[in-house]
C-alpha cells in the first residue's frame, strides 16, 4: 500500500500567525473565532464522538480551522486534508457536519427584528437616504453551482450558467434578517419569494411583525407590490414624472444594503462564488456563510474589501420585472403617499 507524505505541525504554525495572517487564512478575527468555538462547545457539537483507537479525533479547534479555511477559499478538500494531516474523508465529514449543524441553528443568528425594535431599524434605514418606514431590504442572488447532467436544465439561469437562488433580507448594518436558499437559478425572484415562509407569514399575519400602515420591506421591481412590500414605480409609457424618479432613486439607494451584504459574504467566504457539491450540502454551506457573516458583524469583525460589481457577484437574478396580476390599490396608495412625502 502506497503511503503519501503529509504536512505535520500546522496547528502549531497557526498559533504563531500574526492577527493579519490569521485573518487572511481564516477570514475572521481571533475574537470571532473564539466566539464560534465557545458556541460549538456550549451546544455540544460532536459531543457524541467516541474514540475507538486509530487516528486521534479532531478537536473543536481543528474542526473550526478546517471549516473556516474551506468556506473562505476555493481550494479543494484534498489540500485541506494534506495541510491538517487528515484523510480526505475525515475533512469532508467534518465540513458536512459543521455546515449542517449551523444550518439547523440558523435561528440563533438570523433573526427578524421584534416589534419593539422595528422603529429603531426604520430610523437607521431613514438615515441613509431619508426613505421612511423600511424594516428590511429584500433581494436574491445567484450562487454558481454544478449539478449533474440530468438535472442541469432547471438550474440554468438566463445568464446561461447553472446556479441556485439565495433569497435574503438585510438590516441597515448589512446583517441578514432572513434567508431562503436552494431554488433553481432559472426561477424568478417573485416565485421564489412567494414560496418562502416569510411571504406566507407576512401575507396572512403581518401585524405580528410590524404595522403595515407605517412600515414595510423594500425591494426592486422583480417583486410584487404589497402594503408591506414597497417596490419602485415602473416605466409604463415613456419617462416617469420627477417625483417618481426621486422616489425610485431613494428606494434604490436605501435598498443597496442587501446587495452590499451579498458582496460581503462572497468576498469574505469565497466558497459561495462556486459551489461544487450536492444541492443539499450547497444550501448548508451558503446558509452557514450567512450565519458567519452575521456573527462577524455582531463581533465588530467588519470586512468591506473585494469586488462589488454585479457581474462578479451575480446579484441581478432576473432579466424581467414582476408581471403584475391583481393590482393592490391599498399598496399603490401607500406608495404614492410616500412618494409625495419625499418631495
Residue 199 bridge partners (DSSP): none
How many Å separate Cα 285 from the centre of its chain?
A: 10
What tens digit of pLDDT does each residue of 186-226 get?
999 999 999 999 999 999 999 999 999 999 999 999 999 99
Q: What is the mean pLDDT of residues 168-183?
A: 97
- Placement of cell 429584500 in the chain: 138
pTM assigned to the model: 0.93
Locus of grid cell 430610523:
123
Q: What is the pLDDT of residues 222-248, one digit of tens each?
A: 999 999 999 999 987 778 999 999 999
Instruction: Name the least confident of 2-16, 45-59, 79-93.
Output: 45-59
What is the rounded average pLDDT of the residues 260-271? 95
Amino acid at each position: 500500500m502506497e503511503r503519501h507524505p503529509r504536512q505535520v505541525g500546522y496547528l502549531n504554525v497557526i498559533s504563531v500567525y500574526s492577527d493579519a495572517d490569521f485573518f487572511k487564512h481564516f477570514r475572521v478575527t481571533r475574537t470571532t473565532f473564539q466566539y464560534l468555538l465557545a458556541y460549538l462547545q456550549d451546544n455540544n457539537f460532536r459531543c457524541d464522538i467516541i474514540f475507538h483507537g486509530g487516528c486521534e479525533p479532531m478537536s473543536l479547534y481543528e474542526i473550526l480551522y478546517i471549516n473556516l479555511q474551506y468556506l473562505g477559499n476555493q481550494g479543494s478538500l484534498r489540500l485541506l486534508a494534506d495541510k491538517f494531516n487528515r484523510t480526505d474523508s475525515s475533512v469532508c465529514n467534518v465540513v458536512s457536519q459543521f455546515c449542517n449543524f449551523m444550518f439547523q441553528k440558523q435561528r440563533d443568528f438570523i433573526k427578524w427584528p421584534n416589534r419593539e425594535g422595528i422603529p429603531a431599524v426604520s430610523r437607521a434605514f431613514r438615515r441613509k437616504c431619508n426613505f421612511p418606514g423600511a424594516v428590511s431590504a429584500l433581494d436574491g442572488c445567484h450562487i454558481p453551482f454544478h449539478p449533474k447532467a440530468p438535472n442541469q436544465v432547471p438550474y440554468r439561469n438566463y445568464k446561461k450558467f447553472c446556479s441556485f437562488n439565495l433569497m435574503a433580507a438585510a438590516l441597515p448594518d448589512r446583517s441578514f434578517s432572513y434567508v431562503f436558499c436552494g431554488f433553481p437559478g432559472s426561477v424568478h425572484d417573485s416565485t421564489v419569494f412567494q414560496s418562502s415562509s416569510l411571504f406566507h407569514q407576512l401575507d396572512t399575519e403581518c401585524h405580528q411583525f410590524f404595522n403595515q400602515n407605517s412600515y414595510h420591506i423594500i425591494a426592486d421591481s422583480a417583486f410584487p407590490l404589497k402594503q408591506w412590500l414597497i417596490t419602485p414605480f415602473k416605466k409604463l409609457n415613456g419617462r416617469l414624472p420627477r417625483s417618481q424618479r426621486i422616489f425610485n432613486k431613494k428606494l434604490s439607494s436605501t435598498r443597496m444594503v442587501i446587495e452590499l451584504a451579498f458582496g460581503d459574504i462572497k468576498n469574505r467566504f469565497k466558497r459561495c462564488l462556486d459551489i461544487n457539491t450536492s444541492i443539499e450540502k450547497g444550501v448548508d454551506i451558503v446558509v452557514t456563510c450567512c450565519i458567519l457573516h452575521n456573527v462577524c458583524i455582531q463581533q465588530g469583525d467588519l470586512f468591506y474589501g473585494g469586488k462589488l460589481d454585479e457581474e462578479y457577484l451575480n446579484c441581478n437574478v432576473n432579466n424581467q420585472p414582476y408581471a403584475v396580476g391583481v393590482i393592490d390599490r391599498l399598496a399603490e396608495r401607500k406608495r404614492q403617499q410616500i412618494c409625495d412625502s419625499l418631495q
